[in-house]
Amino acid sequence: MSLATEIEKRRTFGIISHPDSGKTTLTEKLLLFGGAIQMAGAVKARKASRHATSDWMKIEQERGISVASSVMKFNYRLDNNDYEINLLDTPGHQDFSEDTYRVLTAVDSAMMVIDSGKGVEAQTEKLMGVCRMRNTPIVTFINKMDRDGLEPLDILADIEDKLQIECVPMSWPIGMGKLFKGVYNLHKQELNLFTPSQDTAHSDNVHIEDLDDPRLDELLGAQADELREHIELLSGASNPLDMAQFLNGGQTPVFFGSAINNFGVKELLDAFVELAPPPGPREAAERVVEPEETDFSAFAFKIQANMDPAHRDRIAFFRICSGKFEKGMSVRHHRIGKDVKLANATVFMAQDRAHVDEAYAGDIIGIHNHGTIRIGDTFTSREPLKFTGIPNFAPEMFRRVRLKDPMRRKQLHKGLMQLAEEGAVQVFKTVLSGDYLLGAVGVLQFDVAVARLKAEYNVDADYVGTDFKLARWISCDNAAKLKEFERLFSANLAHDSEEQLAYLAPDAWKLNYTEEQWPEISFHKTRESL
Ligand code: G4P
């Protein structure tokens, strides 16, 4: 098969949502449609064990779980077209972390799941912010229509208002909660009637082009007029789907359904594979790389410590950007200027890992390594390239590290640097006191860090509180101004693990105020690896 054909059939995406909106349930149904799992329950069981946190054994177990569910690959066939789908996990509960953000730098599109009872929630807003950095196309699923929730029009207004993306309803719900009758598929002009059912894909579809058709009244009773009214309202208020707008993240097609009842999921998946783009060009510092180029190129976007702490093995997740991966091939690791043999690449099937012999742009492969690979590293068959757009994200919470045995300071430093390279936590050394501060996006990473310092570096450490809540990397073209800033704000400055200077603020007000007072200084929310 040609390279172009392989690329054309691939869809690499992640789900953005707030915890409990139904991501796990939807993932499971998508995998069922792809034949990747045979029965409901497998993904949910994993999530249940994932909820358990805190002690070391549990964290270990969890690491294994999150490696296994990091990428779920499955096939899907629609109208004689075969698709290969890579669904990248975006951890969202206690395991919400910087990795969740970074996964979104490796996808070509995203599915957004909104709980119809809640509208847009905080974590979805944050993840949407990351999608916006690369104008990632978003397909929206409004879930839990079988429950009483917000009015559909209000949900759309909420999305448009909070996420600054125009909604284009592809289907329209008829009632909700106990009165939920199904949806009217606007573009197929079809009525999909709802029957609650947890395991089969079942809905009765009736083709009704003309909304004045009396069959609508027979099927929906008094709710037929309500549907007519809504659709009339909609036709005046919303624009048709514009592919260019969708592809640059300006518009999102919206579907309504109920993941747990398997309702609306097939329609969502069918539209998704047709609308969502295959792997596209990727920007490198030197030039733009096209997926059809025959030379192999990839970047590492996630590093996961392996299960066995005795080996200090790590799995680096590569997103392939061009060419063809072949088992055992040699590629150049540009940051360290060495050739490495990609012998045991792993592809992550929905349930198990399998060894891969070949892979293409859009695919994710896992490579074992002993700590030489960093997030953002580029690998190519020959040309020196550095892919961009795989940043560090400013931490949203901080802890000050307290070392119990001062004699182990060197080991502490080594352990912290390794953790920083894996991208799970960020390490800052304060300019004034030389203390180590850990910064993270999700709180679990702090527990993992102390547990790993103990197990892998024999360092006993714990945390004490700190007043800092926000960090921004700073830069300034005017050396004198920067010096003055450094002098005045020395108590708020720290260097990260790559010696980049960051300003730490106790709250958003103080950060805004400082930004306003110092217009010459640039405050960055993300930082690209060196
Ligand atoms: P998450 O991964 O986004 O956190 O959400 P998850 O799928 O775990 O769903 C969160 C809760 O919402 C679960 O209930 C799940 O069963 C429920 N849910 C998901 N989709 C729907 C839906 O379409 N309608 C309704 N009514 N509920 C839905 P739970 O009680 O927390 O867990 P469980 O005991 O059911 O597993």
* DSSP, residue by residue, 156-195: HHHHHHHH--EEEESEEEE--GGG--EEEETTTTEEEE--
Per the DSSP assignment, residues forming a β-bridge with 109 are 13
Per the DSSP assignment, residues forming a β-bridge with 360 are 324
CATH 3.40.50.300 in the chain, residue ranges: 15-66+94-102+110-275, 282-380
Virtual torsion, Cα 286, 292, 297, 303, nearest 10 deg: 110
Q: Which of 89-103, 219-233, 355-369 has the highest mean pLDDT?
A: 219-233
pLDDT in tens, 220-233: 888 999 999 999 88
């099927």: which residue's tokens? Answer: 219
262 lines ligand 1 (CB under 6 A): no
Inform me whether the pLDDT recorded for 444 exceeds 50: yes
When mean pLDDT is compared across 148-162, 203-217, 262-276, 290-304, the lowest value belongs to 203-217
pLDDT in tens, 231-282: 988 888 888 999 999 999 999 999 999 999 999 999 999 999 999 999 999 9
- Superfamily name and number for 391-528: Peptide chain release factor 3, domain III (3.30.70.3280)
Separation CA 430–CA 254 (nearest Å): 46
* pLDDT at 63 (0 to 100): 55
Q: How confident is the model at residue 327 (pLDDT cuts 50, 70, 90)?
A: confident
CATH 3.30.70.3280 in the chain, residue ranges: 391-528
Cα(181) to centroid(ligand 1), Å = 20
Cα(115) to centroid(ligand 1), Å = 10
Mutate to test the pocket of ligand 1, among 18, 20, 26, 31 (most ligand atoms within 8 A of CB): 20
Inform me whether the pLDDT recorded for 369 exceeds 90: no
More confident residue, 11 or 98: 11
Separation CA 187–CA 171 (nearest Å): 8
Q: Which atom of ligand 1 is found nearest the CA of 25?
A: 7
Measuring from atom 32 of ligand 1, which residue has the nearest CA?
20
* pLDDT at 51 (0 to 100): 47
Inform me whether the pLDDT recorded for 199 exceeds 80: no
Separation CA 209–CA 260 (nearest Å): 29
The crossing angle, in degrees rounded to 10, of helices 409-422 and 444-457 is 130
Tokens of 385: 């390239």
Cα torsion angle, 271, 273, 274, 280, sign: positive
Tokens of 319: 């997103």
CA angle at 133 for the pair 474 and 282, rounded to the nearest 5°: 110
CA angle at 301 for the pair 276 and 339, rounded to the nearest 5°: 120
CB distance 29 to 343 below 8 Å: no
Inform me whether the pLDDT recorded for 445 exceeds 80: yes
* Burial class for 7, CB neighbours closer than 10 Å (0-12, 13-18, 19+): buried
Measuring from atom 35 of ligand 1, which residue has the nearest CA?
260
Q: What CA–CA distances, in Å, run from 430 to 74, 273, 463, 501, 518?
A: 46, 48, 15, 10, 21
Separation CA 398–CA 516 (nearest Å): 24
Query: What is the CATH topology of the domain spanning 282-380?
Result: Rossmann fold (3.40.50)
- Superfamily name and number for 15-66+94-102+110-275: P-loop containing nucleotide triphosphate hydrolases (3.40.50.300)
* Burial class for 252, CB neighbours closer than 10 Å (0-12, 13-18, 19+): buried
More confident residue, 49 or 473: 473
Q: How confident is the model at residue 52 (pLDDT cuts 50, 70, 90)?
A: very low
Pairing of strands 109-115, 81-88: unpaired
Q: How confident is the model at residue 47 (pLDDT cuts 50, 70, 90)?
A: low
Cα(167) to centroid(ligand 1), Å = 24
Neighbours of 3 (CB within 10 A): 16
Q: Is the pTM of this model over 0.85?
A: yes
More confident residue, 139 or 34: 139
Cα(199) to centroid(ligand 1), Å = 14
* pLDDT at 115 (0 to 100): 98
For the chain, give the percent of residues with pLDDT over 90: 65
More confident residue, 350 or 356: 356
Average pLDDT over residues 352-364: 79
* Residues contacting 152, CB < 8 A, separation 6+: 116, 142, 169, 172, 173, 176, 230, 256
Separation CA 362–CA 378 (nearest Å): 15
Residue 24: closest CA among 48, 1, 8: 48
Q: For the chain, what is the mean pLDDT?
A: 88
* pLDDT at 72 (0 to 100): 85
Measuring from atom 25 of ligand 1, which residue has the nearest CA?
144
Measuring from atom 15 of ligand 1, which residue has the nearest CA?
22
Cα(19) to centroid(ligand 1), Å = 10
Inform me whether the pLDDT recorded for 121 exceeds 90: yes
Cα(367) to centroid(ligand 1), Å = 34
More confident residue, 328 or 428: 428
Separation CA 229–CA 223 (nearest Å): 10
258 lines ligand 1 (CB under 6 A): yes
Cα(263) to centroid(ligand 1), Å = 14
Average pLDDT over residues 108-136: 96
Average pLDDT over residues 155-170: 96
20 lines ligand 1 (CB under 6 A): yes
Inform me whether the pLDDT recorded for 173 exceeds 90: yes
Inform me whether the pLDDT recorded for 298 exceeds 70: yes
Q: Which atom of ligand 1 is found nearest the CA of 18?
A: 3
* pLDDT at 53 (0 to 100): 41
94 lines ligand 1 (CB under 6 A): no
Separation CA 69–CA 83 (nearest Å): 20
pLDDT in tens, 421-439: 888 789 999 999 999 999 9
144 lines ligand 1 (CB under 6 A): yes
pLDDT in tens, 499-526: 999 999 999 999 999 999 999 999 999 9
Backbone φ/ψ region at 80: left (φ over 0), alpha (ψ -120 to 50), beta? left
Mutate to test the pocket of ligand 1, among 260, 262, 263, 268 (most ligand atoms within 8 A of CB): 260
118 lines ligand 1 (CB under 6 A): no
Pairing of strands 493-496, 426-430: antiparallel
143 lines ligand 1 (CB under 6 A): yes
Q: Which atom of ligand 1 is found nearest the CA of 48?
A: 36
23 lines ligand 1 (CB under 6 A): yes
259 lines ligand 1 (CB under 6 A): yes
Inform me whether the pLDDT recorded for 287 exceeds 60: yes
117 lines ligand 1 (CB under 6 A): no
CB distance 290 to 322 below 8 Å: yes
Residue 322: closest CA among 284, 349, 356, 348: 284
18 lines ligand 1 (CB under 6 A): no
* pLDDT at 402 (0 to 100): 95
* pLDDT at 297 (0 to 100): 97
Measuring from atom 26 of ligand 1, which residue has the nearest CA?
144
Measuring from atom 14 of ligand 1, which residue has the nearest CA?
20
Average pLDDT over residues 402-409: 92
Cα(21) to centroid(ligand 1), Å = 7
* pLDDT at 54 (0 to 100): 43
Inform me whether the pLDDT recorded for 441 exceeds 50: yes
